[in-house]
Amino acid sequence: MIKDKIKNLDLSATLKINEISKNLEKKGKEIIKFGFGQSPFPVPDKVVEELKKNAHQKSYLPIQGLYELREAIAKYESKNKNKNILTDQIIVGPGSKELMFLLHISFDGDIIIPAPSWVSYQPQSVIAQNRFHWIETKAENNWYPTRKNIENLVLKNKNKNYLLILNSPNNPSGQVCNNLKEISEIVKKYKIIILSDEIYSELTFYEKYESIFNYCPDKVIVSNGLSKWCGAGGWRLGYFVIPKELNHLKDSIKVLASETFSSVSSPIQYAAISAFKNDHSDYVLKSKNILKGVGEYVYQNLKSNNVLINKPMGGFYLMPEFLNKKFKTSSEMCADLLNKKCVAILPGSDFGFLDEKMIARISYTDFDGYNFMSKINSDTNIDEDLIKKFAPKIVEGTKRLKDWVEKV
């Protein structure tokens, strides 16, 4: 009774590894949870307070989102992008994932997905019955597509509409896109729009975050939410900024929203106002300081002649390639690691790499962020002693990975 296309889908890899890891833990195994990508930090106190105060909010809110929340998001985005973004350009959803899904459903054209990319873009395009194209990328290009990569694909049929998905800082590579300008030139030339997934933008470690929106604002839908920088993944609140030029897409997503989730949970929307309105820079700086230090620790200790990794630049992932591991598929490789060392990581094949590439994603978030954050300042040097003290499972996980790599 199930459609063929749907029958072939599996549980989303990220959520599945989370459940597998937790079930193994319940059975008494000491699992290092490097699989699921969830912020280790608590939701800021002020935001939690607002949720408590608004628990009584019970009415359905506007389909597009609570006006005051959209206003706060528009101001936050205007400040970040140094551009006037209007309240009406914002649409709020139960996680940006759901809004992306509705965009896939609405969009009439082909989807361009750089490999590697987050696990759900491609299955969403399958469900929405859109044609999708992976674009292979390289470590030396920061794991992002070049102008040429995109143009070669589009030139095969330049009359089509294309939706290019861009995610920086990137899940799974941990890299930041530094060829935005050349990508924007191609986008302006053809019938391409961009979904700029900026969910990790606040967690950019080194430079100030740069968005493709600033290069071609009328062709970019910005996606963001509370899940990563605000530690509130389980609250399920995301939003899109849709340019006036793409109003028809916004209207269509709004219709689909009204026919599916209706509107996002009221207490969550009221609480989210304070996430966007108040200054949380101390919280964000501390989060970044810790993630940068922990990412650097795993990177420095794991990279070798046999393990190639690009240095993490933002977010909370890094993506090693194991040159000395020979399995049929990267899934088999990750299963071997889980079996032998109780370390859960995700195979590169979940992110668009060929099965035989021995690439995987590590989410370096298995530590108590509340405790770590309460003991440091935003400029504390996150050295090995601090990591040993506040992130012992990161140290243990890295050690187990190294042992496993050395035993070929």
Under the rule (CB under 6 A), what is the footprint of ligand GLU? 12, 14-15, 36-37, 97, 118, 120, 171
Residue number with CB closer to ligand GLU (70 or 104): 104
Nearest approach in angstroms of CB 71 to ligand GLU is 27
Q: In this structure, what are the phi and psi dihedrals at residue 107, rounded to the nearest 5 degrees?
A: -65, 130
Residues 35, 14 contacting (CB under 8 angstroms): yes
CB of 334 to ligand GLU, least distance (A): 14
Report CA-CA distances (Å) from 285 to 79, 198, 280, 377, 378. 18, 17, 9, 9, 5
What single letter denotes the amino acid at residue 61?
L
Q: In what order do the strands lie in the sheet with 220-225?
A: 90-93, 238-241, 220-225, 192-197, 162-167, 110-115, 132-136
| Euclidean distance between CA atoms 353 and 301, whole angstroms | 24
Q: Judged by CB, which is closer to ligand GLU: 37, or 295? A: 37
In 3D, which of 186, 168, 187 has the Cα closest to residue 178? 168
Residue nearest ligand GLU (C-beta atom):
37
The distance of closest approach from Cβ of residue 346 to ligand GLU in the complex, given in angstroms and rounded to an integer, is 8
Q: Which is nearer to ligand GLU, 187 or 232 (CB)?
A: 232
Q: Which amino acid is at 392?
A: P
Per DSSP, helices labelled H in 82-203 are 96-106, 121-127, 147-154, 180-189
List 196's β-bridge partners, or say none: 166, 222
Query: What is the closest distance, in whole angstroms, from the C-beta atom of residue 268 to ligand GLU in the complex?
Result: 17
Q: How far is the CB of 172 from ligand GLU (least distance, A)?
A: 7
In sign, the C-alpha dihedral spanning 80, 82, 83, 84 is positive
Closest to ligand GLU by CB, 42 vs 238, is 238
Tell me the backbone φ, ψ of residue 239, rounded to 5 degrees: -150, 160
Task: Supply the minimum distance, in Å, between the C-beta of residue 60 and ligand GLU.
Answer: 25
Closer residue to ligand GLU (CB): 74 or 100: 100
Instruction: Give the count of beta carbons closer than 10 Å to the beta carbon of residue 274.
Output: 20
Q: Residue 91's closest CA among 261, 277, 278, 281?
A: 261
Nearer of residues 12 and 329 to ligand GLU, judged by Cβ: 12
- Which residue, 145 or 174, is less far from ligand GLU as judged by CB? 174
Looking at beta carbons only, is 12 or 304 nearer to ligand GLU?
12
CB of 97 to ligand GLU, least distance (A): 6
Rank residues 42 and 217 by Cβ distance to ligand GLU and give the closer one. Answer: 42
Place of tokens 């989410």: 363
Nearest Cα to 351, choosing from 175, 227, 232, 226? 175
Sheet holding 346-347, edge to edge: 317-318, 360-363, 346-347
